[in-house]
Amino acid sequence: MPFSESLAARVRDVLARTRGVVEKRMFGGVGFLLHGNMLVGVWKEALVVRVGPAGYDEALLEPHVREFDVTGRPMTGWVLVDPEGIEDDEPLRHWVRRAAEFVDTLPAK
């Protein structure tokens, strides 16, 4: 299944003024890296969000959020936000900001 081009365009809009962002095709979707570290991505119709190990359990408690599991083994520190959770721009911006807060703690690659 191809990834949602419309969601990718919305993510591009959110990140348009952010320095250090690179877009890269990966895992059957598209990823957005910040200073070389994966930030968010689009996989099928969902938003992949890097929340980090400390923010993982809390993120899973939010509505329309589930484990990021494309191989049969969930990736701790990463969640999928289903389309219902990002229908509007504000929730999308929230998830991108949340990912940026974690990725900002990592060294640039």
Which CATH code for domain 5-103?
3.90.1150.30
Averaged pLDDT score across all residues of the chain: 95
Q: What is the pLDDT of residue 101?
A: 96
Q: Over 70: is that where the pLDDT of 100 sits?
A: yes
How large is the average pLDDT for residues 48-65? 97
How large is the average pLDDT for residues 67-71? 90
Q: Over 70: is that where the pLDDT of 1 sits?
A: no
Using a pLDDT cut of 70, give the percent of the chain over it: 99
Other beta carbons less than 10 A from residue 79's beta carbon: 27
Instruction: Tell me the whole-structure pTM to 2 decimals.
Output: 0.94
The ranges assigned to domains in the chain are 5-103
What is the per-residue pLDDT across 5-19, written as a single tens digit (0 to 9) for each?
A: 999 999 999 999 999
